[in-house]
Chain A
Amino acid sequence: MSNTHHYFPHTQDDIDAMLQRCGVSGLDDLYSDVPSSLRMKAPYKLPEAMTEPELRRFFRHLDRRNETLTCFAGAGVYHHFTPAAVDSIVSRSEFMTAYTPYQPEVSQGTLQYIFEYQSMMCELTGLDVSNASLYDGSTATAEAMLMCVAAAKKKNRVLISATVNPIVAQVCGTYARWHGIAIDTIPEHDGVTSLETLEDMLGAGDVAGVILPQPNYYGIVEDFSGVSDKIHAVKALMVMNCVASTLAVLRTPAEWGADIAVGDAQSLGMPMNYGGPYLGYMCTTRALMRKMPGRIVGATTDASGKRVFVLTLQAREQHIRRDKATSNICSNQGVMALHTAVYLSLMGRDGLREVNEAGCSTMHALVQKLCAGGQMELAYPHKPYLNEALMRLKPGLSARGIIDKAAAAGILAGVEVAPDLLLVACTEMQSTEDVDAYVELVKNMNTDE
């Protein structure tokens, strides 16, 4: 076996000198406490080492078997434009190769971008306090659910709208099942949360929190007027799961009266990357900040009076509270928070609005053309939507059939919600030609079948 791999700096002389300092004659002697019955007798059954060119070829071969499609799918993950400057900053190894900023003296870079990220998320949600990020939108929602139950002390029931993204609801369901939280689903009526039923369910008592989506899974922007008062009347918390990008234009969770805003920040310019990394955001009110999971950065002053940043409110966290912590989260999505901060800095106030306007405009044009073609109609034609909508297919067409045929033509037509329901989304990334190609394809499909 050669030990001169380029990741190992040790020469044979180094190794000999180090062994000598340790008072042993070989590396094996350092493992004398490992019973020989447990020792590996042969190398791993794994491929031989590859050089860089071989490795690049290997990955190129893998990646060739993926197809990047013109994306009209959403369902929680959206194809947005990322300025090149974002990648350039995020890939700086001073950021990338640092650990959690336990030593503030040598971690001001990480601490400052988290502080900027927190400030921006508070602007988007309208709430007082943001943490430094959580894993993704689904786990962030589950963490919000745990937070509701922890804040309510003795109540153990959480209500979740049927119009929340089903994957988010499933993740909440998993956490709830094992943690011992009772989840009830608020039924939907005409594509939106049934607020009448919600009121009845709140009346039954023991509700710690209510989880509502915006826009909902079908792309509909729901009207939650008066809802927070009803939730607060039974001393429960209102959680809103929002698509981060849309927060720039839609009425904010704070304006709806929500106590906690959570969701995925992928829509803030993160590459889709086949599922991750994304970022779960969480914001809450000042009153609840000490119940919030995850790292939080605060500003303070140093010995010379200079403004500096530190991890703060640490007494909430697992390394101090152990089994009494609100959450087990340690690290989160570090550089994805940086990604978000740089993206939002570059988009600024106008860019984010323009992203929403472009997606909204393209989506409404697409819907109009698809409906005019006669193969689809809006599943909920009287409900307002932004950049995503649920389409009902005419008999004879299936969502699966459209998706597969479109994929063959280089288009991702959407996400199947039911055999005759297709969820379609647009962003600033689809050109008029892309839209027309999609419409044309669907039109031709009708005659195929």
Chain B
Amino acid sequence: MNSELYGTLVFELSRKGRRGCAVPATEAAAGAVHRALPESLLRKEAPDMPMVDEPSAVRHYTNMSTNNFGVDTGFYPLGSCTMKYNPKINEALASSPEIAGLHPFQPAATVRGALEAYYLLQSFLSEIGGMAEFSLNPYAGAHGELTGLMVIRAYHAERGDFGRTKVIVPDSAHGTNPASAAVAGLQIVETRSMPDGTVDLDDLRSKLDESVAAVMLTNPNTTGMFERRIPEIAEAVHAAGALLYYDGANLNPMLGVARPGDMGFDVMHINLHKTFSTPHGGGGPGAGPVGVRAGLEKYLPNPRVVKHLDGSFGVISDSDSALGRVTFWLGNYTVLRRALAYILTLGADGLMHVGPFATLAANYVMNSLNDLYKQPIPGPCKHEFVFDGLLDKSTGVTTLHVAKRLLDMGFHAPTIYFPLLFHESLMVEPTETESKETLDAFIAAMRKIAEEATSRHEQLKQAPLCTPMSHPDETEAATHPKLKWKDLT
């Protein structure tokens, strides 16, 4: 890391007269905009963009990248985020000059390869999810959730059943579930969790009536527990005329073990950036394909890739029964290519190991630490587990302190203070791509922190001590927001 450049903004490197690239343009073009448009339609001043040369810009951003932690940098046990290894061949195949120049509206006959790639991934995901068909359009997990709920609304609407305005979610659900339901125009009803984190079937039954459009579940749930009564849940939901929605956030441990469609789910989404190894990119772009069981295909959003009887592929953009359109075109194509490459690299056999290995890693870490950290739910867990802070609470060391101290030790922190079921939630998801040595190093770090909590807790509470920055003033940031370069002066 070049400490001289730490935190310097690209605007601060700007000097009048420098430029970062040469634009292909003819001399005739100079002044073309002013000749074509009246002054009243033009902006008064040019935007104040940085003026930097290419070497300086490259060094600036390269240095910036060294202030970041990624899966390639180290262990990233962020619960519910499935930070597995992002294979390099997927990156190599994701984008290429051949596909960079494909316009979404070019004739289907000139993009046969792209359409076949879509169709293949649709059918592969259908097989893995146990669903009849997938739409790859949604851009992220939250977008998939929203789209899936719209599928459900379109289904009820077509049957003339307009009274179904509620969605039931467990009280352990991720915040996206209620937010997606609200955007889809549905009201949220929470159902209670049992002490082991699974759904309280009696409570659920008491809330199922003709006003319920859907029940949304993750399985395993957000505490890492499998809903073992899922067949009964599905039966109760269907008996009430509602549909069962599978939030694919936790699909990873189910690979090779069980398929959501076989569990009785009607609609699901998959976070390709979790289970199918596409990179998270610091928060996108992702992909949240939505799958449906047989009978619900026609509600999937426009446009859809279809295979004609003659074996050729086409795009349908104007199906009336569809819920509508939720994207500009067919989703994040380069993200979808990565997922396709991942499935083909692992193949049918390799995919069978993903879930069991992820579950093994989580159970191994949990069983190596539950003598020092409070395990609120008896195991075995699935791909992730929750600790409710340290066993010994007398020192006042909280989950936040543990998380920050892990940063000092070269690990990314687990997910903290989620799920909301416990006060000191610390949620660990190691994934199947971490070696035993890495898991052992993490276990050692967690044990050392537990030891520090007794021996030197006042110092521990100051963590992180070794990161490039620490203890940002978040209250000031939110009270008097400075959100752009010009707010700083």
Q: Are A358 and B70 in contact (CB under 8 A)?
A: no
Instruction: Give the Cβ gap from B361 to chain A, nearest Cβ, in Å.
Output: 7
Instruction: Give the Cβ gap from A32 to chain B, nearest Cβ, in Å.
Output: 8
Q: Are B282 and A386 in contact (CB under 8 A)?
A: no
Q: Are B469 and A306 in contact (CB under 8 A)?
A: yes
Inter-chain CA distance A102–B474, complex, in Å, is 12
For A5, the chain B residues whose CB sits under 8 A away are: 346, 350, 353
- Interface 9-residue window, one of B75-83, B289-297, B449-457: B75-83
Does A198 lie at the interface of the complex (its beta carbon under 8 Å from any beta carbon of B)?
Answer: no
For A276, the chain B residues whose CB sits under 8 A away are: 139, 285, 327-335
For A67, the chain B residues whose CB sits under 8 A away are: 106, 110-111
Inter-chain CA distance A133–B286, complex, in Å, is 13
Using CB atoms, name the residue of chain B closest to A319.
B175
Does A1 lie at the interface of the complex (its beta carbon under 8 Å from any beta carbon of B)?
Answer: yes
Mark out the residues of chain A between 270 and 325 whose CB falls within 8 Å of any chain B CB in the assembled complex: 271-278, 289, 295-304, 306-308, 310, 312-315, 317-325
Q: Are A81 and B67 in contact (CB under 8 A)?
A: no
Instruction: Give the Cβ gap from A219 to chain B, nearest Cβ, in Å.
Output: 11
Does B306 lie at the interface of the complex (its beta carbon under 8 Å from any beta carbon of A)?
Answer: no
For A298, the chain B residues whose CB sits under 8 A away are: 477-478, 481-483
Most-contacted residue by chain A among B11, B183, B302 (CB, 10 A)? B183
Interface string of B419-439 (1 = CB under 8 A from A): 000000000000011111000
Instruction: Give the Cβ gap from A152 to chain B, nearest Cβ, in Å.
Output: 17
Q: Which one, A66, A179, A221, A386, contacts B110 given CB within 8 A?
A: A66
Does B42 lie at the interface of the complex (its beta carbon under 8 Å from any beta carbon of A)?
Answer: yes
For the A-B complex, the count of residue pairs with Cβ-Cβ distances under 8 Å equals 697
Q: Are B153 and A178 in contact (CB under 8 A)?
A: yes
Q: Are A251 and B42 in contact (CB under 8 A)?
A: yes
Q: Are B282 and A99 in contact (CB under 8 A)?
A: yes
Q: Are A318 and B176 in contact (CB under 8 A)?
A: yes
Interface string of A231-271 (1 = CB under 8 A from B): 00000000000000001111110010000000010000001
Does B487 lie at the interface of the complex (its beta carbon under 8 Å from any beta carbon of A)?
Answer: yes
Q: Are A98 and B37 in contact (CB under 8 A)?
A: no
Inter-chain CA distance A146–B46, complex, in Å, is 31
Instruction: Give the Cβ gap from B154 to chain A, nearest Cβ, in Å.
Output: 8
Inter-chain CA distance A336–B282, complex, in Å, is 10
Does A447 lie at the interface of the complex (its beta carbon under 8 Å from any beta carbon of B)?
Answer: no
Inter-chain CA distance A57–B104, complex, in Å, is 24
Inter-chain CA distance A327–B348, complex, in Å, is 38
Does B117 lie at the interface of the complex (its beta carbon under 8 Å from any beta carbon of A)?
Answer: yes
Instruction: Give the Cβ gap from A181 to chain B, nearest Cβ, in Å.
Output: 9
Q: Are A312 and B101 in contact (CB under 8 A)?
A: no
Q: Are B484 and A129 in contact (CB under 8 A)?
A: yes
For A395, the chain B residues whose CB sits under 8 A away are: none
Inter-chain CA distance A171–B328, complex, in Å, is 8
Instruction: Give the Cβ gap from B221 to chain A, nearest Cβ, in Å.
Output: 12
Mark out the residues of chain A between 1 and 19 whose CB falls within 8 Å of any chain B CB in the assembled complex: 1-3, 5, 7-10, 14-15, 17-19
Q: Are B7 and A318 in contact (CB under 8 A)?
A: no
- A122-B486, A124-B47, A136-B328 are contacts. A98–B280 as well, Cβ < 8 Å? yes
- Supply 23 A–B pairs (Cβ within 8 Å), ascending by A: A18-B361, A23-B367, A30-B359, A30-B363, A43-B352, A44-B128, A50-B345, A59-B337, A69-B103, A93-B86, A108-B469, A129-B481, A139-B328, A170-B325, A251-B40, A297-B483, A298-B481, A313-B481, A330-B283, A344-B49, A360-B29, A360-B32, A361-B25
Closest 4 pairs between A and B when the two form their complex, measured CB to CB: A49-B347, A174-B324, A109-B68, A346-B20
